[in-house]
Amino acid sequence: MQIRARCACGHLWYVAQDLAGGLTNCPRCGKATQVDGLRDPLWRVLQGAAALGWVVVVVLLYANTGPLGALLGGAALAAILGLIYLMM
């Protein structure tokens, strides 16, 4: 299976799956380019768990504190998840 790489110069091509999440040189301009990394199993699990956790928290807040609590809590949790995402 091949995986997609797209360079800032606009070139789009496919590389071996071993390179997923890594860097490869663009055949057109020669610069190192990020390869799509969706294969990483832990990354998928983390994304899924974060999304599910967010939905559960927002639903619970809505049930217990009403729409304002759900809105504020949901926004705060989204900000925390965003911070964690930046650390990756």
Partner 1 sequence: MSKLFELDRYWIRRKFLTLFGASFHVYAPDDQLLAFTRQKAFKLKEDIRVFEDEAKQVPLLTVQARQIVDFSAAYDMVDAVDGVKVGATRRKGWSSFLRDAWEVLDADDLPVASVVEDSHGMALVRRFVSNLVPQRFEVKDTNGRSIATFKQRFNPFIHKLDVTIHDRNAVDPRAIFGTAVLISAIEGRQS
Enter the tokens of residue 50. 């974060």
* Cβ count within 10 A of residue 33: 21
23 binds partner 1 (CB under 8 A): yes
Residue 53 or 66: the one with the smaller Cβ distance to partner 1 is 53
Pairing of the two strands 12-16 and 2-6:
antiparallel
Choose from Zn ion, partner 1, none: what does 44 bind? Cβ within 5-8 Å by kind. Answer: none
60 binds partner 1 (CB under 8 A): no
17 binds partner 1 (CB under 8 A): no
From 11, 13, 21, 47, residue interacting with partner 1 (rule: CB under 8 A): 21
Residue 2 or 40: the one with the smaller Cβ distance to partner 1 is 40
Residue 21 or 69: the one with the smaller Cβ distance to partner 1 is 21
Give CA 43 to chain center in angstroms.
8
Cα 64 from Cα 58, distance rounded (Å): 10
Enter the tokens of residue 65. 């504190």
